[in-house]
Amino acid sequence: MFTNLGYFFKEAWNDIVHRPVAILFSLISIALLLFFTAFIFAGGEQLQWLVGQLGQEAAVTVFLQEDVARSQRDSLEEELQQLSGVTTIRFVSKEQALEEMEDILGEHSSELAATAGFNPFLGYFEVGVLPEEGVEVAVQAEKLPGVDSVRDNRQTLERLTRLTLVMRLGAVFALLFVGVVMMITISHIIHLGLMAREEEMEIYRLLGAGPWFAALPFLLQGTLLGFSGGLVSFLAAVVTFPILISKLHSALPFLPLQPGMGVALAVGPVLIATGTIFGLSGSLLAQYQARGK
């Protein structure tokens, strides 16, 4: 069988050359399908990355009331220090808060502050915590005098993590759906190829060929088709994702985003693997149908 491997590839190629339009169309539709799932995957990728970024800095933000005196602030800092699980404390004044926000938001925000004419921010303590004690620290901090409100990024994190899971699940379902559609597309095109060559295959059998002799070129072809579809959609992602994400970044500058190339590279293997696997199963399905007759 392996002495014939080159021949099987040649046969697969011959058939492609024989009906280039049909093959090209199915390739395009497979690539498009995969490209669309790539978006859902990219969303999940982004969220995952965001969670990772935020998770590195498990922190509780303790906002101070508008008019807290210096002495009260110092005693508050000491009390926060006493809470178990607290690792670091950094004070950020109203003025610093404004500056930081301007750093993050860029030029647009200074305009915003200028038009507002006053500083809308509160001073706050950024309290580094051990991740597993973050919630408890937040609860305790809220009870201290002079505290306006407490924001625990763990809650945000948990919500984001849940959203990431939903996104992932959605992506897997989308992938399965696309996979099945792909499988049907490929099995259809392979089936047409098999039908067109029914007579030829009968001759193979009369000469003593086993079922794989005639089937293998078509298995190769279907697998190749799926693989190429994955590859094309991957290339499309490599080209488009960096552009899209840099557009998104300039629209939402405060949102930490993974660079587009990184997302494309992360999604690529999934696209190619899905293409290949469902390409192979599609052509197996076609064989199975053909043999049923």
Partner 1 sequence: MIIAQGVAKVYDNGTQALRNINLTVKQGEVVFILGESGAGKTTFLKLLLGMEKPTAGELIVAGTSLIKPRAGDIRRLRRLTGAVFQDFKLILGRTARENVALSLRILGIGWSDNRRRSKAALAAVGLADKGDNLVETLSWGERQRVALARAVVREPRLLLADEPTGNLDGASVGYVAQMLALAVKGGATLVVATHDSRLIERLPGRVLVLEQGSLKEAPVTGREQAACGQGGIE
Interacting residues toward partner 1 by CB under 8 A: 1, 3-4, 6-7, 200, 202-210, 213
Element (H or E) spanning 152, and its range?
A: strand 147-152
* 154/197 with CB nearer partner 1: 197
Give every strand in the sheet of 59-64, ordered side by side: 86-92, 124-129, 59-64, 147-152
> CB of residue 182 vs partner 1: minimum separation in angstroms?
29
CA distance 106 to 102: 5
> CB of residue 181 vs partner 1: minimum separation in angstroms?
32
* 7/173 with CB nearer partner 1: 7
* 124/213 with CB nearer partner 1: 213
Q: Which of 85, 90, 82, 88 is nearest to 132 (CA)?
A: 85
Q: What's the length of the chain? A: 293
> CB of residue 197 vs partner 1: minimum separation in angstroms?
9
For residue 118, report the phi and psi dihedrals to the nearest 5 degrees.
-145, 170
> CB of residue 27 vs partner 1: minimum separation in angstroms?
23
* 25/212 with CB nearer partner 1: 212
CA distance 148 to 133: 21
> CB of residue 34 vs partner 1: minimum separation in angstroms?
33
* 7/254 with CB nearer partner 1: 7
